[in-house]
Structure 1
Amino acid sequence: MERVLFVLHDPPYGTERVYNALRWAAQMVAGGHEVRVFFFGDSVVAVAAGQKVPDGYYNTGRQAAALASHGVALGCCGTCLDARGLAEDRLIDGAHRSSMVELAQWTTWAEKVINI
């Protein structure tokens, strides 16, 4: 199976790009592919712990946690976390503070990079 890297940029709410990217990543995992997800910019908020959303509304923290429970690595741009005052201890289990160095490594690891 293929190794796929998803690179996300948009905020988790307001558009459905992050929601759909996480759904897509989950489907790739279900198909037996190896997946990693890197969060840039406002997308780092998608993996903030303790998100409260209205009943019936999607929750990107839960989506990402489900991916992590299937072994998907979730990296967050450290500079982007700092700019938003989001410390690593406020991320869901399975998400970690990352760097451009790790993103470069993941890019060479991947057979496909999906930039959303």
Structure 2
Amino acid sequence: MNQEIVVIANGAPYGSESLFNALRLSLTLAEREGVALKLFLMSDAVSAALPGQAPGEGYNLRQMLEILLAQGVPVRLCKTCCEARGLSALPLIEGIEIGTLAQLTDWTLAADKVLNF
């Protein structure tokens, strides 16, 4: 039996460790047998989906997102949040899509657990 888990992340990519911690947990959850994980980025977290970011030393959020995508985890961005930040027309990391609040609502209602960062 699969356990449906939705992770919602709001934190800015490199301003705090909130998004980093959401992705760390997501990576660990995605490796577990019987877990169906979905990731939804909102607020300032949506800017982590822009390709070409070159952080200095430390963690690389793009790499973490690409690993999740390779593991089959759907990653969606809040459409309203993207529009507010002028990201809607920009290229995204391959595999990441812009989603809607209705989609997040459906994910939430179908989930066994929802984790918010």
TM-score (normalised: structure 2): 0.92
Q: Which residue of 1 aligns with 2:46?
A: 44
> 1 CA distance for matches of 2:15 and 2:110?
31
Deviation per CA, 1:37-93, whole angstroms, max 9, x where unpaired? 001110001111111111x32111111111011100001001111111113552111
Contact between 1:88 and 1:96, CA under 8 Å: does it hold in 2?
no
SS at the partner of 2:76? strand
Deviation at 1:98, TM superposition (A): 0.6
Once the two structures are superposed, the pairs formed by residues 1-116 of structure 1 within 5 Å of their partners are 1-32=2-33, 33-54=35-56, 56-87=57-88, 89-116=90-117
Deviation per CA, 1:11-53, whole angstroms, max 9, x where unpaired? 0112111011101011001112111000111000111111111
Name structure 1 gaps, 5 residues minimum.
none
> 1 CA distance for matches of 2:6 and 2:89?
21
Deviation per CA, 1:94-113, whole angstroms, max 9, x where unpaired? 21011011001111121100
TM-score (normalised: structure 1): 0.93
Name structure 2 gaps, 5 residues minimum.
none
Identity %: 31
> 2 CA distance for matches of 1:95 and 1:64?
9
> 1 CA distance for matches of 2:89 and 2:96?
8
RMSD: 1.2
Letter in 1 for 2:45: S
Aligned residues: 115
